Structure 1
Amino acid sequence: MTTLPNPYLPEIATVVETVQETPNIKTFRVVLNNAERMKAFRFEPGQVGQLSLFGVGESTFVINSPPTRMEYLQFSVMMAGEVTTALHGLKPGDQVGVRAPLGNCFPYEAMKGKNVVFVGGGIGMAPLRTLLLFMLDKRKDYKNISLLYGARSPQDMAFQYDLPDWTGRKDMTTVLTIDREAPGWEHTVGLIPNVLLEMNPSPKNTVAVTCGPPIMIKFTLQALKKLGFEDDQIVTTLEKRMKCGVGICGRCNIGTKYVCVDGPVFTYAQLKELPNEL
């Protein structure tokens, strides 16, 4: 893993491509200006980075491209405040600051030889995407892979360029769902927790990885428990709470834990030992 001499000092990167995922989510593909740094850059699925615009501020986003594909680093940004609004104005050729990698990663080594069920909602698909693509690139290391990805409407579903591959693959099961009927929609209709119960994945030798809006996670956790998943079989991520990224500012602490150092990835068993944050 590459570390910077000063953890507060961002690397300068250039935006090489942007993708308007949804009306309020935009993806940025960036390359570090220092070619040697870019070549040496290493991270693990689930780790995050801070994107900064000088004179505006910085925010935390998961690196949602996989470490098996290093042509660029991909970040997806939901417009929600001053920094994210400014980031949405970036175009190819613009410069941005990057502090990465930060935080821990998904326990992908411990998942080897197991079934993996991904449950993502909206922008919550971003952290799942990096792990999913990583596992697909190392397909023989994992058993059955299932994906349940949902959004309010077809227009709110990000990463649509990935969907044809995911739905067409024979080595994974993909279920796409939206909250209510929409013209031209050919997939499932229903709320994610309800669809998950209908899918009825077996908890035997299985890990569930979930991320999405807090209300979705709350009811998805309940559904997984109904299906028989133990707390240590459920993994989620809390990167939205991070600020400095190095355990100094205290903005992201949950009880005795710092999301930027001890997380952002936690099992449900770990979260239940902390003050309720879901």
Structure 2
Amino acid sequence: MPQPIADIYLPRQARVEQIEIENSQIATFVLAFSDRRYNDAFRYQPGQFMLVSMPHCGEAPISISSTPTRPGNIHLSVRKAGKLTTAMHGLRVGDTIGLRGPYGRPFPMEQLAGRDLLFVAGGIGLAPLRAVVNSCLDQPDRFGALTVLYGSRTPSDIAFQPDLAQWHNQGVDCRLTVDAAEPGWDGSVGLVTALLDDLALKLDKSTALICGPPLMFRAVLGKLTNMGFSDHQVLTTMERHMKCGVGICRHCHMDGKLACVDGPVFSLAELRKLKIMELDG
């Protein structure tokens, strides 16, 4: 439910209902607006984000990692990185934070209907893609085969493990890799791009969705291009520090586009038209 124009900068109070520890740096906060009527009516789409605020800590954009087909709570998966996100990691159940949104252009779910979807993620990058995967699983007749390739630094850093196990049980082809093995790990070791080598994809009916750090992002883009994916068959989210969320401050300017309203979801075809440093090299 979009906020009225008069309230675009006004956060609404939300309560921490549950905290799920993903790894040593990432936690997922399950939130509900204190205003129950607003909470019950709140809607969003995969790929959108919220602006989160805490007293004396400022405000930051965080992708929604929960699923629109499962209303009632909002999940925000947060990596400890700066002042606000570090403060969030100190929250307990029952504490409150400020939320405003949802903002941003979502993943084009209508365009993805009927297609096989390949998800490639690294680290916290699985968070915004989680919403898409779960939305597809909740509407299995609308989407084709789902494949998830996920890379982490070590086995201990693998986030969203309950989701990955559940997806596997529901028929998703989940493949994991790590940069460095630990005792007991018998899975793949190496770059996430190597997981693309053994895939048998129907290229004409496939779309790839990517989210991860810049080095991974560039490597995956190159690999997908070599595999025959067109720029229109690749979707990603672009990280920028989005302050207002509604295209007024222009802080997230991207060579003629604004990440907060024109994105954060872009096709590779759209990004090719912009001077984006993540595509260089």
TM-score range, shorter chain: over 0.9
Q: In the TM superposition, what are the counterparts of 1:123-272 in structure 2 within 5 Å?
A: 123-170=124-171, 172-272=172-272
Moved more, 182-191 or 9-18: 182-191
Q: How high is the sequence identity, in percent, across the aligned residues?
A: 41
Structure 1 residue 86, shift from structure 2 partner: 1.1
- Which stretch shifts more, 160-169 or 128-137? 160-169
1: CA distance between counterparts of 2:138 and 2:56?
A: 39
**SS of aligned partner of 1:39:** helix
Q: Is the 8 A contact 1:118 1:146 kept in 2?
A: yes
The alpha carbon displacement at 1:200 in A equals: 5.0
Letter aligned with residue 212 of structure 1: G
Counterpart secondary structure, 2:201: coil
| CA distance in 2 between partners of 1:44 and 1:70 (Å) | 11
1:18 paired with 2:19, answer: yes
Determine the C-alpha separation between the residues in 2 that align with 1:241 and 1:223: 28
Q: Which amino acid aligns with 2:112?
A: M
**Residue of structure 1 equivalent to 2:2:** 2
Instruction: Determine helix, strand or coil for the equivalent of 1:42.
Output: coil
Give how far 1:124 is off: 0.1
Indicate the SS of the match to 2:215: helix
Displacement of 1:240 in angstroms is 4.0
- 1:110 match: secondary structure: helix
- Mind listing any 5+ residue stretches in structure 2 that lack a counterpart? none
C-alpha change, 1:221 and 1:200, in structure 2 (3 Å) is farther
Matches within 5 A, 1:8-157: 8-157=9-158
Distance 1:277 1:132 in 2: 28
Specify the SS of the correspondent of 2:117: strand
Normalising by structure 1, we get a TM-score of: 0.96
CA shift for structure 1 position 85:
1.1
Return 132-141 or 184-193, whichever deviates more: 184-193
Deviations 1:245-272, CA, capped at 9 Å, x for gaps: 1112221110110000100000000001
Counterpart-to-counterpart distance in 2, 1:239 and 1:191: 21
Distance 2:35 2:66 in 1: 19
C-alpha distance in structure 1 between counterparts of 2:153 and 2:257, whole Å: 33
Q: Contact conserved, 2:105 with 2:264, CA < 8 A, in 1?
A: yes
Poorly superposed stretches of 4+, deviation over 6 Å = none
Distance in 2, matches of 1:89 and 1:277, equals 34
| C-alpha distance in structure 2 between counterparts of 1:241 and 1:211, whole Å | 16
Q: Deviations over 1:7-35 (max 9, x none)?
A: 10011000011122111112111100000
Rate the CA distance shift 1:200–1:180 in 2: closer, same or farther, 3 A: farther
Kept after mapping to 1: 8 A contact 2:17/2:93: yes
Structure 1 CA distance, aligned partners of 2:243 and 2:184? 41
Give the Cα–Cα distance (whole angstroms) in 1 for the partners of residues 12 and 101 of structure 2: 9
Which amino acid in structure 2 is aligned with residue 142 of structure 1?
F
> Which stretch of the first structure deviates more once superposed, 108-117 or 20-29?
20-29
For normalisation by structure 2, the TM-score amounts to: 0.95
Q: Which moved more, 1:233-242 or 1:249-258?
A: 233-242
Match of 2:100, SS? strand
What amino acid is aligned across from residue 234 of structure 2 in structure 1?
I
Deviates more, 1:219-228 or 1:245-254: 245-254
**Structure 1 residues 241 and 224: CA distance shift in structure 2, 3 A:** farther
Aligned residues: 277
CA distance in 2, matches of 1:8, 1:109: 30
CA distance in 1 between partners of 2:226 and 2:14 (Å): 45
Deviation at 1:188, TM superposition (A): 2.3
Q: Name the aligned partner's letter for residue 273 of structure 2.
A: E
Query: Deviation string for 1:18-72 (max 9, x for gaps)?
Result: 1221111121111000001001101111110011102211111111000011231
